[in-house]
Amino acid sequence: MIKGERLTLRLVRETDLNNLYEAMSNLDTRGDYFPLGLMSESKLRSRFAESGFWGQEEGMLLIEDPDGQVVGEIEFFPITSYLSGYELSYQLFGDQFAGKGYTTEAVRILTQYLLGRKRVNRIQLNIHPGNSASKRVAEKAGYEFESIMKQCWYHQGQFHDLEIWSYIRSSQS
């Protein structure tokens, strides 16, 4: 469990799986920019049984508000097999949780956790140029805009650019 000022990041429990599956399967709560892929319930349960969604090089944590309600999830995973660093992905499970600083704090504390425990110098966020909320999260969490990858992401029937935002350990000292 990783405690922040307003939230807690915690590992997924078996008792969370029904609600997690419902939240992750609800395309209406993903907004315009979160990938729309679906995972079957049997695959979700199988992945949980295999690793509990936590491993040496990738993991998922649930975001809990001060009342213990799960409001979203945040993940880390390798950027690609040939680069050193991690990418973060996050999602709130409904508009009612937006605008409360949960995502910014989750990104900030997972970034610090990874930098404190992993031999990694770079953590990045890939953000659609139109996603102003995620850009604010990146800025508030100490990430810097780096560049744009042109037409690299296929989503909702078309190719989109993605902005690369990074947190570099050596530049934060």
User: What local confidence, expressed as pLDDT, does residue 143 receive?
Assistant: 96
More confident: 23 or 62: 62
List, for residues 14-61, the tens digit of each pLDDT value.
999 999 998 888 777 766 666 667 788 999 999 999 999 999 899 999
Residues 6 or more apart in contact with residue 90 via CB below 8 angstroms: 63, 72, 73, 74, 75, 103, 106, 107, 137
User: What local confidence, expressed as pLDDT, does residue 1 receive?
Assistant: 87
More confident: 37 or 143: 143
Residues 6 or more apart in contact with residue 95 via CB below 8 angstroms: 29
* 52 conformational bin, left if phi > 0, alpha if psi -120 to 50, beta if neither: left
Q: What is the mean pLDDT of residues 47-76?
A: 93
List, for residues 78-128, the tens digit of each pLDDT value.
888 777 899 999 999 988 899 999 999 999 999 999 999 988 999 999 998
Domains annotated for the chain, with CATH where assigned, are 2-171 (3.40.630.30)
Lowest mean pLDDT among 2-16, 71-85, 113-127, 137-151: 71-85
Which two structure tokens, joined as six digits, stand for 160? 């989109």
User: What local confidence, expressed as pLDDT, does residue 95 receive?
Assistant: 86
Lowest mean pLDDT among 59-68, 151-160, 163-172: 151-160
CB 106 within 8 Å of CB 7? yes
Q: What is the mean pLDDT of residues 65-73?
A: 93
Amino acid letter, residue 41: E
Total-model pTM: 0.88
Query: Which is it for strands 59-64 and 2-3: parallel, antiparallel or unpaired?
Result: unpaired
User: What local confidence, expressed as pLDDT, does residue 25 receive?
Assistant: 82
Q: Taking 80 as the threshold, does the pLDDT of residue 136 lie above it?
A: yes
Length of the chain: 173
